[in-house]
Amino acid sequence: MLANLSSDIKQYLIVTGNYWAFTLTDGALRMLVVLHFHSLGYSPLQIAMLFLFYEIFGVITNLCGGWLGARIGLNRTMNTGLLLQVLALGMLLVPAAMLTVPWVMAAQALSGIAKDLNKMSAKSAIKMLVPADAQNSLYKWVALLTGSKNALKGVGFFLGGALLTVLGFAGAVLAMATGLLGVFLTSLLLLKRDLGRATNKPRFADIFSKDPAINYLSAARMFLFSARDVWFVVALPVYLSQTLDWDHWQTGGFLAAWVIAYGMVQALAPRVTGINNVAPDGRSALRWACLLATVPALIALALQYSSTGSTPAPAAILIVGLLVFGVVFAINSALHSYLIVSYARADGVSLDVGFYYMANAMGRLLGTVLSGWVFQVAGLAACLWISFTMIVLTALISIRLPRHAQGLSS
């Protein structure tokens, strides 16, 4: 059956398989680090700071990785990402006494580089494998890739906990490194050598986009992901643990299930937003951003009044609020992921995609730092109001997005 598939479909399956395998290890590694250092007595905020370099190097990698992909090909940047993740896992196989905070942060930095090389390569490759006049198909393929990745990251959270229970920390890391090494070797043999390489090798200065549509979309993406992470990364887990007295498994299991559901909604986004089989444009991004802005504001108001007894308990408010936020945020994210691939130039696509995901990583970094600081100073409700403000900024920027995405592909 596979032999009858077109070359482009086969390449898409290889790219997707690489992305899936990487994502499983990425989610599992994060859970392994969280559980291991939690068992050593680290606070949730201290554990979150272990991932600071992961986000910082994501910004740098996306900025430079798009340029690198356009010069040497997306196959090489994707395979480099896989190899770097194997090396990051290998760094955690040292004796337990050497697993100091600086060493783990360095391993996470390497993992952050690997993750964003892999993601940028996978998202860029779709542009090369879908005809320019098939925008609905492009939207569906991007949504499926993005949604499946996030669902698998949630599965990875469970996988990390299971491997830690069965094999221990070192055994779990070794098992993941061995499996991913096999994926890397397979990818070396099967992925096209010139996938995504630009006709004319771009200069390093070309990493900064000159297309207003991409610049506006990148700015909107930065605030969108800051709005999520400012309350989701540190504030929410700490609140669930300290204020609601959830144990670690309740908190981790709930957040993992949320990520899986979030990914499933992303994959289904074309069915939700598709109107008369017309691909979405800037108007769609604006409309869904406006809807999203109402959610953290309503959660914050409900939490602030929950102490009066006139609203449900905080746990119920957060669970319902998170579910609604996850659905609407997933659709926003899927729309943005499609629009950047649609807007990007066909020749040297990774330059535009890399710049965009640099803004994405910058938003995550900003949200992560603010999440810990604002929660510590002012609490969860303050994080939610900042989330609301950032989504409003996303909506205001989205006003400037082109209204007909189909005409922007080249």
User: Can you read off the two tokens belonging to residue 204?
Assistant: 């390093």
Q: What pLDDT score does 408 carry? A: 37
| pLDDT surpassing 70 at residue 383 | yes
Q: What pLDDT score does 196 carry? A: 53
Helix axes 74-91, 52-72, angle to 10 degrees: 150
Q: What pLDDT score does 311 carry? A: 55
Q: What is the pLDDT of residues 254-264, one digit of tens each?
A: 888 888 899 89
What b-and-e string marks burial along 159-172, b requiring 16 or more CB atoms within 10 Å of the CB?
bbbebbeeeebeeb
User: What is the Cα–Cα distance from 257 to 236, expressed in whole angstroms?
Assistant: 15
CA quadruple 291, 296, 297, 302: dihedral, nearest 10: 130
User: What is the Cα–Cα distance from 93 to 116, expressed in whole angstroms?
Assistant: 23
C-beta of residue 395 within 8 angstroms of C-beta of residue 283: no
Q: What pLDDT score does 119 carry? A: 79
pLDDT band at 288 (very low <50, low <70, confident <90, very high): very high
Distances 364 to 115, 198, 225 between C-alpha atoms, Å: 14, 29, 6
Which range among 1-15, 77-91, 127-141 has the greatest average pLDDT? 77-91
Rounded to an integer, the average pLDDT of 359-365 is 88
**3 or 375: which leads in pLDDT:** 375
For 307, other C-beta atoms within 10 Å of its C-beta total 9
User: Can you read off the two tokens belonging to residue 59?
Assistant: 């910004």
User: What is the Cα–Cα distance from 45 to 67, expressed in whole angstroms?
Assistant: 35
**385 or 247: which leads in pLDDT:** 385
Distances 167 to 22, 28, 87, 175 between C-alpha atoms, Å: 20, 13, 20, 9
* CATH for the 2-408 domain, from 3.40.109.10, 1.20.1250.20, 1.10.260.30, 1.10.357.10: 1.20.1250.20
| pLDDT surpassing 80 at residue 108 | yes
- Quick one: which of 342, 321, 362, 349 has its CA closest to 403? 342
Q: Which amino acid is at 145?
A: L
Q: What pLDDT score does 43 carry? A: 67
Q: What pLDDT score does 68 carry? A: 74
Q: What pLDDT score does 407 carry? A: 38
Q: What pLDDT score does 220 carry? A: 96
Which range among 141-145, 332-336, 361-365 has the greatest average pLDDT? 332-336
Rounded to an integer, the average pLDDT of 280-294 is 93
**353 or 134: which leads in pLDDT:** 353
Which range among 313-322, 361-370, 390-399 has the greatest average pLDDT? 390-399
Answering whether pTM is above 0.85, one says no
Q: What is the pLDDT of residues 169-217, one digit of tens each?
A: 889 899 999 999 999 999 888 877 666 555 556 565 555 556 788 899 9
How do the domains of the chain map onto residue ranges?
2-408
User: What is the Cα–Cα distance from 123 to 373, expressed in whole angstroms?
Assistant: 32
pLDDT band at 312 (very low <50, low <70, confident <90, very high): low
Q: What is the pLDDT of residues 2-14, one digit of tens each?
A: 456 567 677 777 8
User: What is the Cα–Cα distance from 36 to 34, expressed in whole angstroms?
Assistant: 6
| pLDDT surpassing 70 at residue 268 | yes
| pLDDT surpassing 60 at residue 102 | yes
C-beta of residue 225 within 8 angstroms of C-beta of residue 334: no
* Percent share of the chain, pLDDT over 90: 25
Q: What pLDDT score does 6 carry? A: 65
| pLDDT surpassing 50 at residue 26 | yes
Rounded to an integer, the average pLDDT of 234-238 is 81
